Chain A
Amino acid sequence: MRFCQSFMTELYRHIGADTDVPAGDIGVGGREVGYMYGQYKRITGLYEGVLTGKGLTFGGSLVRTEATGYGLVYLVEQMLNDKGMSFKGKTVVISGAGNVAVYAAEKATQLGAKVVSFSDSNGYVYDKDGVDIEYVKDLKFVRRGRLAEYTQTHKNAEYHEGKGVWNIKCDIALPCATQNELNEADAKTLAANGCIAVGEGANMPSTLEAIDVFLKSGVLFAPAKAANAGGVATSALEMSQNSERLSWTFDEVDAKLKGIMINICKEMTEQAALYGMKDNFVAGANIAGFKKVAEAMMAQGIV
């Protein structure tokens, strides 16, 4: 709390609901957002949507917690559907064990997949029967423990120290831990083991060389810019609700989120094809985003 308060005591001068609206990332969850919000309100006297990821009792939105993880799976599902495939019956390897990883695992399981791993900074867990997501939620979000504890209560699972989660044979890989966690060797292993799709839940988890391997091996690759946009999109929906001073239901927000992700998938696919780079969704996503930003910048003068 003291850290968050000290941080906001300077930051408040530079942010605002119509100026710059921060949200959480690694190590910054609901608890931290709450403390920062409280300090902002104390200093400025303003009760406004200056941060997203707020608690439900002070302007937060339902689905915001699940948004990045759910959004990732919605987009990858659409990418698979476009090729006549789906999550149903597939084995999924996930890295990370935070907000994005846990809710991506939950939504993938709801769609009929089996998620067999999580990882944290100490090591990774492999549970071939499917990881116990509810246990991991309690372990990570409530008790703030380490994955090494998982095998104490789950005797059929394996825990390994250090890296190696990408060596597990899978159909779909969802890196949700951190940047540059999936390198060229990892990509080659995944491709050789029959992985058909990769979706980036974290920011920049794959190295440039890894992306190259995926594109050349025909693995469907959903880049972070598109695939993890669900969180930011739902932050925008939180801001919309703040502006309206209304709260939408879980299903209303979830439906909008799903629509947004399907649309992003559509745009990245269309733009890639338009520029002769069919199925290169990295190019498609960057081009789609760039064209919008460029048009706005060209209209706003030399600023």
Chain B
Amino acid sequence: MGYVDRVLTELIAKNPAQPEFHQAATEVLNTIKPVIEADSSYEKAALLERLVEPERQIMFRVPWIDDKGNVQVNRGFRDRTLQGRFKIPPICKLRYNQVLRL
């Protein structure tokens, strides 16, 4: 099994019940295969394993009072998967934007 396939298999096993993550990762990793295969230093540096592992994920409680005076309790998230000057969207998609819906 090649490096890319191995990383993808491990990713899916390590992150069950996250189909959007699998979908996004599958698309990206399969298309960059030619670049990876041309340079073995990526595998030595475990570049892909580090690329797909979030730098940090934060989950927290968001309590608030709605317009009717009822207490609501939501869950907030923030995910930091890739930093840098270039626009690479988060490969890991926790559904945090759902929580932001009022």
CB of A225 closer than 8 Å to a CB of B: yes
Task: Give Cα A298–Cα B32 distance, bound, in whole angstroms.
Answer: 16
B27–A289 contact, CB under 8 A?
no
Interface residue tally on A, bucketed by range: 35 or more
Instruction: How many A-B residue pairs have C-beta atoms within 8 angstroms? Tell me.
Output: 117
Task: Give Cα A203–Cα B92 distance, bound, in whole angstroms.
Answer: 12
Give the residues in chain A near B72, CB-CB below 8 Å. 3
B62–A6 contact, CB under 8 A?
yes
| In the complex, per-residue mask of B5-41: 1 if CB is within 8 Å of any chain A CB, else 0 | 0000000000000001001101110011011000001
Mark out the residues of chain B between 29 and 75 whose CB falls within 8 Å of any chain A CB in the assembled complex: 31-32, 34-35, 41-42, 45-47, 50-51, 56, 58, 60-66, 72, 74
CB of A47 closer than 8 Å to a CB of B: no
B35–A291 contact, CB under 8 A?
yes
A27–B100 contact, CB under 8 A?
yes
Task: Give Cα A211–Cα B23 distance, bound, in whole angstroms.
Answer: 12
A22–B78 contact, CB under 8 A?
yes
Can you identify 22 A-B contacts, CB atoms within 8 angstroms? A2-B65, A3-B62, A10-B60, A10-B61, A11-B76, A14-B58, A22-B78, A27-B101, A32-B100, A203-B93, A224-B89, A283-B32, A286-B27, A286-B31, A287-B31, A287-B32, A289-B86, A290-B28, A290-B35, A290-B88, A293-B51, A297-B51
A290–B62 contact, CB under 8 A?
no
| In the complex, per-residue mask of A267-293: 1 if CB is within 8 Å of any chain B CB, else 0 | 000000001100010110011011111
Nearest-CB distance from B79 to chain A (Å)?
10
Give the residues in chain A near B58, CB-CB below 8 Å. 11, 14
A26–B28 contact, CB under 8 A?
no
B100–A25 contact, CB under 8 A?
yes
B41–A229 contact, CB under 8 A?
no
Task: Give Cα A22–Cα B63 distance, bound, in whole angstroms.
Answer: 20
Give the residues in chain A near B35, CB-CB below 8 Å. 275, 287, 290-291, 294
Give the residues in chain A near B86, CB-CB below 8 Å. 289, 292-293
Q: A207-B23, A289-B87, A298-B47 are in contact. List 12 more A-B contacts (CB 8 A).
A: A3-B62, A10-B60, A14-B78, A26-B101, A27-B100, A179-B93, A204-B23, A283-B31, A286-B27, A286-B31, A297-B45, A298-B45
Determine the residue in chain B with the shortest Cβ distance to A224: B89
B41–A298 contact, CB under 8 A?
yes
CB of A20 closer than 8 Å to a CB of B: yes
Give the residues in chain B near A142, CB-CB below 8 Å. none
B100–A225 contact, CB under 8 A?
no
B47–A20 contact, CB under 8 A?
no
Mark out the residues of chain A between 44 and 86 whose CB falls within 8 Å of any chain B CB in the assembled complex: none
| In the complex, per-residue mask of A167-188: 1 if CB is within 8 Å of any chain B CB, else 0 | 0000000000001100000000
Identify which of A10, A15, A276 gathers the most chain B CB atoms within 10 Å of its CB.
Answer: A10
Task: Give Cα A271–Cα B60 distance, bound, in whole angstroms.
Answer: 41
Give the residues in chain A near B93, CB-CB below 8 Å. 179, 203-204
CB of A232 closer than 8 Å to a CB of B: yes
A286–B45 contact, CB under 8 A?
no
CB of A43 closer than 8 Å to a CB of B: no
CB of B2 closer than 8 Å to a CB of A: no
Sorted nearest first, the 8 A-B pairs with minimum C-beta distance are: A27-B101, A283-B31, A286-B31, A10-B60, A6-B64, A25-B97, A2-B64, A232-B87
Task: Give Cα A100–Cα B65 distance, bound, in whole angstroms.
Answer: 31
Give the residues in chain A near B34, CB-CB below 8 Å. 275-276, 287
Give the residues in chain B near A292, CB-CB below 8 Å. 84, 86
Give the residues in chain A near B99, CB-CB below 8 Å. 7
Task: Give Cα A233–Cα B98 distance, bound, in whole angstroms.
Answer: 23
Give the residues in chain B near A10, CB-CB below 8 Å. 60-62, 76
Nearest-CB distance from A262 to chain B (Å)?
15
Determine the residue in chain A with the shortest Cβ distance to B78: A14
